[in-house]
Copies of this chain bind each other. A is one copy, B any other.
Amino acid sequence: MQNISEEKCKLVEELGLNFEEKHNLPPLAGRIYAVMILSNVEGHSFEDIIEITCASKSSVSTNLNLLVQLKFIEYFTKTGDRKRYFRTTKNYLRITLEEYLESIEKELNLVKKVNSFNKEHNPEKFKKNKNLGLIFQEYLTTQKENLETTIQKMIMFKKELD
């Protein structure tokens, strides 16, 4: 990490790790994304990212393209300038929330499947764990609803977002 304050550098590492885990990104992609989240600049060039992250051209190329493909970032150009400039997409929070929603739905589905499988095949086990299973199912349902309303709220800010 070059040319950035120590405070920022630490936050980049921390945020980067978080993105890496939560979105299953390679470490470098997580760091690049963190740099952009924490930056003043409207648009980092390819070169900027190489300098800041101290990574090779090829790695930066691969990871920038990955982030673009996953819609975490986007690029724009300036007339009379061959470079591409990258910035976070304005709706990355919505993407994150939608990812959460998807994963919650998947899990809720699984829990229901397990509950009904055990109900049918292991009735005495099901009875014993019924309350727990239902509490978990209830929790997931609440969370799903919560996510849906949050996403609705975000869409209300659409003009700002898109």
Q: Which residues of A approach B to under 8 Å, CB–CB?
A: 7-8, 11, 14-15, 18, 22, 37-40, 90, 93, 96-97, 106-107, 110, 113-114, 117-118, 121-122, 125, 128-129, 131-133, 135-136, 138-139, 142-143, 146-147, 150, 153-154, 157, 160-161
Taking a contact as CB atoms under 8 Å apart, the answer to whether B153 and A97 are in contact is no
* Selected A-B contacts with CB under 8 Å, 11 pairs: A7-B117, A8-B121, A11-B114, A18-B107, A38-B121, A40-B125, A93-B133, A93-B135, A131-B160, A135-B153, A146-B146
A147 and B139 in contact, given A11-B113, A107-B18, A125-B40 (Cβ under 8 angstroms): yes
Residue from B8, B106, B128, B161 in contact with A117 in the complex, judged by beta carbons closer than 8 Å: B8
Taking a contact as CB atoms under 8 Å apart, the answer to whether A110 and B18 are in contact is yes
A114 and B146 in contact, given A135-B153, A157-B132 (Cβ under 8 angstroms): no
This chain: copies in complex: 2
- Residues of chain B lying within 8 A (CB to CB) of residue A128: 160
Residue from B8, B37, B121, B146 in contact with A142 in the complex, judged by beta carbons closer than 8 Å: B146
Taking a contact as CB atoms under 8 Å apart, the answer to whether B157 and A37 are in contact is no
